[in-house]
Structure 1
Amino acid sequence: MIRFHLKCDQDHAFESWFQSGEAYDKLAASGMVSCAMCGSTKISKSMMAPAVSTSTSVTPPKPSAAMLAELRKRVESASEYVGSKFVREARDMHDGLVPERPIYGEAKPHEAKKLLEDGIPVLPLPFMPSKKTN
């Protein structure tokens, strides 16, 4: 996993984790990386320094409820909920068996790990899907 410092064309800065640099490039090229503040998909990597371990524990800031609500709204309006079929759909899209499209759904941790190990870029959502029509 790699963390990138990103910036949108509206100058909003944010961070996100990706399986690899290649996974980021693929997601960004398909418009699936967007700014949580304004929704822009015109994203670029910002200058980053390597992570350095210190003896002091640093707690990352928690996203606000408003930010999570906005992220949920964007994900649910721009993606198809596939529920428990998420793993199969993601793998079928990666293998070219079905057309690529933005999806979200549910996967067990070991299933998500296997997708990542197989080079299929997936990200966990910081909320449970509200649509349960599968």
Structure 2
Amino acid sequence: MIVYDLECRGGAHRFEGWFKSSDDFAGQQKQGFLACPVCGSPDVIKAVQAPRLGRKGNQLPDAPAARTEAPESSESAQAAVPATVPSPAAPVANAPLPPQAVELMHKLAQMQAEALKTSRYVGESFAEDARAMHYGESDAEAIHGQATPDEAQELLDEGIAVMPLPFPVTPPDQTN
């Protein structure tokens, strides 16, 4: 549907009209189906209007302005209402992360890198190797590798402590 701002030439009354297409508007205008709802004039034309462009999907909406003073009401209600109301958190997409989040991610990456240095990569045999160590069939050591979500859940159900790594790891045989 297309929405046009319309106006009658006689009284310059402005109103809105909805049409299937620009051809539909032209056809209705030519056949005299359009009339001003205020004065009834059939002499209706498209009014000059600003384009209605939707916001792109990757653009953030403007944050609402924070209130700077408490509302006018009783003293007890004023004490319960903060002087400023924080605006809701903006979506993360296409917005810079807060510095604390960046710092946390760097620390996690460093911790993971240190843990990987002191553990052995076992690849897709992770679940089997973790079970063997848990049940005393092989020596206990720190390992990392790959497991499906179902395998990881089964290990947890058996009481075997496992956890996903926060950041993806490239297997040693696939690194440069």
TM-score by length of 2: 0.38
| Higher RCO, 1 vs 2 (CA within 8 Å, ≥6 residues apart) | 1
TM-score by length of 1: 0.50
| Structure with max Cα Rg | 2
Q: Greater strand share, 1 or 2?
A: 1
